[in-house]
Chain A
Amino acid sequence: MKSRQFRIVMSFEYMTYMRNKVYIGITILIVILLALGLSAPKIIETARGLGFTGADPDIDDPASTVYVVDHTDDPHLMSHLEATLPDERWRAGNATEIEAYRQQIDGREAKAALVIESQQNLSYITRRFGSDQLANISERVLTAYFQTRQLSEAGLEEADIDRILTPPRMNRIELVEEAGKSMEQTYFYTYLLVFLLYMTVMMYGQLVASSVASEKSNRAMEMLITSAKPLSLMFGKVIGSGLAGLTQIAVFLVAAAGFYKINEASWADIPFIQSIFEMPVHIIGFTVLFYLAGYFMFAFLYGALGSLASRIEDINTSIMPIMLILMSAMFVSIFGMINPDAQFLTVFSFIPFFSPMAMFVRIAMTDVTALEIVVSILIMAATIFGTGWISSKIYRVGVLMYGKPPKLGELISILRQEKA
């Protein structure tokens, strides 16, 4: 490999991404989505301030009517509901009209009907259970109401009733040596980052494969292979694409962090969003490291398999084996997140192809010794070296081979011959 050629190929490949309208478009789109998502509370707040009521139901709209049919004939029940849930359009109903209410609800002329047969038997009639939480809320309100009424009938004071009805609060305390490694705090960002790893490795790997195959199918390969060494071509392409991926990840992380900082106050009440943005800095370092490890491990193979395809259409079948390995690695890691201390996750964190994601989960969610991390990184480095070596062999043969992609057995015998 000539280092000058390699640099030229790499910067050409990198600049190709930077000039690619689709690449730029997707990056901008995701940044906009991040901006909108992270600014959502502020946007909703501002909209409300401008007079948009948003999702609040219109109390004057007959279609939002909720009929209450009370078979217990409790004189205070209606007023209690109106007082506790003032945003709903409560209307006292008649037991004989039930059929009419049903029709109204079905025809979207009313929202729902709440039927109180007895204290133990409540019905909520609605057109379709969806995002409407009113059934659950009114069940809770009525339960408390009935309990309070009975206890007060039994002669208890209001203060005592409150004390009885207030449930205990469970404080969840995890004992972990290092701060920031509790399940609750780490789960979401680990999940996000594992998925980001999977998506970027898969996306850029496929881009490498289809780029090689298209160079073959449009015969630019003929010029490339006679102008530069195959190794420079393959390594330049893989590393150039890898840098483009890294650039994109960096843009996403910076954008997400930036928009979070701007809107930090609005997210104060939502702990899981907070946990994502308060992840330790070293996790970001490991994200980059394992992205690079995972990417190179797979990208060389993607490049090699791309070189075996003569047409873009052949790629999908060619790259199926790596896709399966990559997907298994993701599923093992996501599954492992449920119990990150499990034996199988430890084992997988040292198995080539699985280790980038499995080890990442372990580092993010548990305490891993430095030695384990080093061993895992060494295994990854060896794997990358191995895939790079075998891929360059395949690539050298593949780029000049046209026609049907060879079967695995044929490929091995061709590679053997090349050696001899």
Chain B
Amino acid sequence: MELEIDSISKSFGDLQVLNQISFTASSGMAMGLLGRNGAGKTTAIRIIMHVFPPDAGQIRLDGKPLRNGLASIGYLPEEKGLYPKFKIGDQLVYLGQLRGLSRKAAARSVNYWLERFSLAWYHDKKLETLSKGNQQKIQLALALLADPEIVILDEPFSGLDPVNAQLLKDIVREQVDAGKVVLFSSHQMSYVEQFCDNVALLDRGQIVLRGNLKQIKREKAKNRLYVQLSGDPAASGQRLSSLLSQHNRLAETVESIEASGDGSLIHLSDTGSRAHILSLLAGSGADVEQFRLAEPSLEEIFVEEVGESNEKQTV
């Protein structure tokens, strides 16, 4: 299955929230929709959920327009909340029925998921008696209740302790392995990194980066060189930068050198200069301990992409 978001635009009044965004989420591969607060993630999700129509563009599932697909989408909203005064079992069955399950099937599914989250004991308790983390688990159970083909999780990890986060990770992986289309929205990069095969980075209503996370990292790594010389890190860093600055041609392509761990991270504007640096180091007689491409973390990519555009805005 393939969920294809094609050139979606949406404005509220004079404010353009989404501008021609496109990305694709495939089954068996988790998709991460990233962006800062207010970037348009929730609006994009709401359009997928048919809460309101897009001004332009189309959403397709396996090439066909996604219509009335409510029943096959499971959704964990960012703003978590249900009826605090109602019994947990009752409200889950109710919402399961709204999502197309029969009463019996809903009740069965509720029992399964409560069991799964070790919350079966709370079936007849009011929601407000649960801790915040447990309420979040109830919400997740709700998202998965109708065994949806598409699972959309908006900030699923906020408020979970490490044990519950692990439980959530296991369940999400299970969903991915079961061939579901899983769409994550988050600004917690470490979780996205662990899960998502593909990412789309949204900034002020536009996709600024999109694709396979590994490829993106590899692509970004081409211009990032990690070099570690033996000896005192500070002194060897000094030595490295003086070495590079002496070389005229390299001085142009080296954008920056910064300390990173026990070595230095060199940003290049031209991937071709890697060979020059290697030969330069070999000729200088320096004792090279490590010379490799440095893959950036997703967080670094995020800050680089979104932080940069922010600077542009302020200028």
Chain A residues with a Cβ under 8 A of chain B = 5, 8-9, 12, 16, 215, 218-228, 400, 417
Contact = CB atoms under 8 A, between A and B. Distances in A.
Contacts of B139: 223
A218 B99 CA distance: 20
Given A215-B83, A222-B80, 7 more contacts: A12-B94, A223-B75, A223-B95, A226-B46, A227-B70, A400-B46, A400-B52
B15 to A, nearest CB: 12
A226 B80 contact: no
B84 A218 contact: yes
A16 B46 CA distance: 28
B289 interface: no
Interface string B47-88: 001011000000000000000001001010101111110100
B186 to A, nearest CB: 17
Given A226-B49, A226-B75, A227-B70, A219 B98 contact: no
B172 interface: no
B interface SS class: loop
Interface residues of B, number: 23
B98 A224 contact: yes
B51 A225 contact: yes
7 interchain residue pairs of minimum CB distance:
A219-B81, A222-B77, A227-B98, A219-B79, A226-B49, A228-B98, A218-B81
Interface in B179-198: none
B77 A8 contact: no
B111 interface: no
Contacts of B13: 417
8 contacts: A218-B81, A219-B82, A222-B77, A222-B79, A223-B81, A225-B51, A227-B98, A400-B52
A34 B77 CA distance: 48
A8 B90 CA distance: 13
A103 B49 CA distance: 84
A367 to B, nearest CB: 49
A355 to B, nearest CB: 36
Nearest to A7: B97
B29 interface: no
Nearest to A233: B98
Contact of B94 (A8, A218, A226, A400): A8
A311 B13 CA distance: 24
B202 interface: no
Nearest to B11: A417
A226 B70 contact: yes
B43 to A, nearest CB: 10
B70 A220 contact: no
Contact of A226 (B77, B82, B83, B97): B77
Interface in B90-131: 94-95, 97-99
B31 interface: no
A160 B8 CA distance: 104
Contact of B82 (A12, A220, A400, A417): A220
Contacts of B46: 226, 400
Nearest to A8: B97
B82 A223 contact: yes
A224 B95 CA distance: 7
A50 B193 CA distance: 85
Given A8-B98, A218-B82, A218-B83, A223 B51 contact: no
A227 B81 contact: no
Contacts of B79: 219, 222
B146 to A, nearest CB: 9
Contacts of B94: 8, 12
Nearest to B94: A12
A10 to B, nearest CB: 12
A218 B83 CA distance: 7
A5 B96 CA distance: 11
Most buried by B among A16, A224, A226: A226
Most buried by A among B79, B80, B81: B81
A229 to B, nearest CB: 8
A106 B55 CA distance: 84
A85 B52 CA distance: 82
B142 interface: yes
Nearest to A216: B81
Given A5-B98, A226-B70, A227-B95, A400 B81 contact: no
Nearest to A222: B77
A400 B83 contact: no
A400 B77 CA distance: 13
A354 B70 CA distance: 41
Contacts of B51: 225-226, 400
Contacts of A219: 77, 79-82
Most buried by A among B70, B84, B139: B70
B77 A223 contact: yes
A233 to B, nearest CB: 9
A58 to B, nearest CB: 53
A223 B142 contact: yes
Nearest to A2: B68
Contacts of B97: 8
Contacts of B83: 215, 218, 220
Nearest to B139: A223
Most buried by B among A215, A222, A225: A222
A228 B94 CA distance: 11
B129 to A, nearest CB: 15
Contacts of A16: 86
Contacts of A215: 83
Contacts of A12: 94
Given A223-B142, A226-B77, A227-B70, A9 B82 contact: no
Contacts of A5: 98
Contacts of A9: 98
A420 B16 CA distance: 16
A215 B142 CA distance: 17
Contacts of A417: 13
